[in-house]
Copies of this chain bind each other. A is one copy, B any other.
Amino acid sequence: MAVTIRDVAERAGVSVATASRVLTGSRNVSPVLAERVNTAARALGYRHNAVASALRRGRTNTVGMIVPEIGNPFFPSIVEAVERRLQESGRDLFLCDAQQDVTIERHRARALADRQVDGLIIVPVSATESRATLVEAVQRTPVVQVDRYVEEYPADWVGVNDELGVGLAVEHVVALGARRIAFVSASLDSSSAQQRYAGFERVVKRHGLPSDTPRLLGTFRAEWGRSAALQMLAEEPFPDAVVCGNDEIAIGLLGEFRRSRIRVPEDVLVTGFDDIRFAQLADPPLTTVRQPGEQLAAECIRLLDARMIDRDLPVQRVAIAPSLVVRESTGGSS
């Protein structure tokens, strides 16, 4: 068996209480004994049993995080930022992947809560079907929703203003002269998809632009961008611009346009959303709406910590304004 605090105490000639006090960094121990305990611990190769500690204290110094799909490159960027923040306060992050499935998402949320995480950060899969999972989780642990949220906000949320973000993209292509603007995004399961769609419609309406242009809703994947491109190529008239619900879709679209000898930005303008790493590596480099990952992460941890202190706080919603990054897919920086 592994060496326990009992062994350390014995070797140091003190009680387990004192050993515990030293090992957890309590003030009220004489330097002499503290030194003895530390020496004994080192000599024996003592390793703290976090499970036992967690059982006793009811805290784990651990935060759980669930993302809809780790393969979508936008999520890893948020995860990295959150992890850096958590590190500052010495907490560990356990990350889980819901694989785009609300059932798996529920399992993961329970698994994390069962392990007594001190808090849960979640990007919900679905605006409607993830709701029950959130409601259940909120009763067990502090929860913060990031990026996406579920209906009626059972928990705090931080994200960018998606509606505004897509608005920026539309305004941009309108300013460049586009009239017939198509929208390619994911079906309206998630709040992101919903808000981005809403933003598109709002600005199109505001400018009195034709509303019979394609609105193609599939998934947030590049393959969907490809099929959407093919679909648009098969129909007349071809749009002046395509605003996409995220970068992956836009990159898929660009690939298909390239193959069909449609020139971007000469024949059609294209915009994305997120500003993932590959956006600037696309051909042509992609104009997109940037999500400020560091800021999202910072706010997320702030909300979580506030909620850990007071569970009964009113639910907070923090919407950060995104910014447009102009690249060559709409004619380049100007």
Question: Which residues from chain A sit less than 8 Å from chain B, CB to CB?
Answer: 2, 47-52, 54-55, 60, 62, 70-71, 73, 76-77, 79-80, 83-84, 87, 92-97, 99, 104, 108, 110-111, 113-116, 140, 222, 251-252, 254-255, 258, 277-278, 281-283, 285
Contact = CB atoms under 8 A, between A and B. Distances in A.
Given A92-B111, A99-B80, A51 B54 contact: yes
Contacts of A278: 222, 251, 278
Interface of chain A: mostly helix, strand, loop or mixed: helix
A99 B83 contact: yes
B71 A140 contact: no
Given A93-B97, A222-B278, 16 more contacts: A47-B110, A47-B113, A49-B116, A50-B111, A50-B115, A51-B55, A51-B114, A70-B80, A76-B76, A80-B99, A83-B97, A92-B111, A94-B94, A95-B95, A115-B115, A278-B278
15 contacts: A47-B114, A49-B114, A50-B114, A50-B116, A51-B55, A71-B77, A73-B73, A79-B97, A92-B108, A93-B96, A94-B94, A95-B96, A222-B281, A255-B285, A258-B283
Q: Could you say how many copies of this chain the assembly holds?
A: 2
Nearest to A97: B83
A274 to B, nearest CB: 13
A79 to B, nearest CB: 6
